[in-house]
Structure 1
């Protein structure tokens, strides 16, 4: 365990993959697996009432985590992985869905090729080149906006009017919620070279 801890500290990483002699991924061990170790005196204490709540199986599992001398006994075996051709948005969905910090990348044979972490995704955002802000024709802007909105299942385009003049988008109508209103505005702002005026209401106008 000291070797694993040293690797984490030396390389300033939060986890290391565990591979077989053939290079296949067999598990992963993270800093959280080493948090409650007997060497550091940080093993999890159990009061009598907590023992009743968690049960024997959980206490036995925690004992393994704190006392095991083999990596195989504490590593996570069921590792969420992805293929090298997976787009970044799928990696982001895996991180969010499984509440994990990293996704190992493996080939068809299960051999480890690399790891994509949350930090890597943030780096991709930070290093992305800004889009050129050249305003296209008004009709093109409107077409792009409506096309994007129609692809979203939450948009009610019948309640929306988008007027584009000289690269300025005026949004009129109403959105059922503040979140939908913000999302519509952001969809318009994402078009390079445009300015957006948000006149949307969050409740429909009642005509008597």
Structure 2
């Protein structure tokens, strides 16, 4: 397929919250609340992503603290307590970080999120430096693409390459991301290929295919005479005598 599918760098958020590995517990809580995010990547001194701290990590720490034996850690509690202030991002983070590259196709990012059960992925370059963050909401942006834009890509970048010699143009209708293909094509073996390529177009939700091959011509029996031709009369013709009325 000649169309260029969207990649992570097309939809990722570039201005993101990142934490230094020495960030204190209460500062992390404040930062997540201020940025209204549920997780943030943790960077080392060189700016490389070494882990991720999420709200779940913070809650696990609080659960462990409140489950301590009676008399242990009594007094101030919560993110402003001395104990919480001494905990850093390096101690809280989940490591190694699950990341994705900027040039990765969107389906790859979606599979990575699903496999690891996360909602956001730090985007890193070949050196591990943070480039941005991609979320589930970012991946869904492609489905906001207009129907006519999707149809035009299919007409221009897919059909001419698969069916250049089609006697009649393949008709493309897109409604709410659902693509319907109708018409006749010279090679039915390419129909599954067309469906696969169309399904891979950004913004396509589903494909309904009603493509068919060329009209079939009836098979003529070679032993039968051609239509419209009178077979030659075999044998000698019987001639009536002159003057006979044929009665």
State the TM-score, normalized to the length of structure 1: 0.54
The answer to whether residue 171 in structure 2 is matched with residue 135 in structure 1 is: yes
Which of 180, 193, 198 aligns to 1:147? It is 193
CA contact (8 A) 1:104 1:112 kept: yes
Q: Secondary structure at the match of 1:7?
A: helix
Q: Deviations over 1:84-117 (max 9, x none)?
A: 1100010011011111111211111111111111
Q: Give the Cα–Cα distance (whole angstroms) in 2 for the partners of residues 45 and 129 of structure 1.
A: 53
Q: Give the Cα–Cα distance (whole angstroms) in 2 for the partners of residues 119 and 109 of structure 1.
A: 26
Q: Deviations over 1:37-58 (max 9, x none)?
A: 44xx785649xxxxxxxxxxxx
State the match for 1:2 in structure 2: 26
Q: How far off its partner does 1:30 sit?
A: 0.6
Q: How far off its partner does 1:144 sit?
A: 6.1
Q: Secondary structure at the match of 2:123?
A: strand
Specify whether residues 147 and 187 from structure 1 end up closer, same or farther in structure 2 by C-alpha distance, changes over 3 A only: farther
Specify whether residues 150 and 109 from structure 1 end up closer, same or farther in structure 2 by C-alpha distance, changes over 3 A only: closer
RMSD: 3.5
State the match for 1:178 in structure 2: none
Larger proportion of helix:
1
The answer to whether residue 157 in structure 2 is matched with residue 122 in structure 1 is: no
Aligned residues: 137
Which of 103, 106, 114 aligns to 1:96? It is 114
Q: How far off its partner does 1:4 sit?
A: 0.8
Gaps of 5+ in 1: 47-65, 152-185, 196-208
Q: How far off its partner does 1:124 sit?
A: 3.0
State the TM-score, normalized to the length of structure 2: 0.46
Q: Secondary structure at the match of 2:184?
A: helix
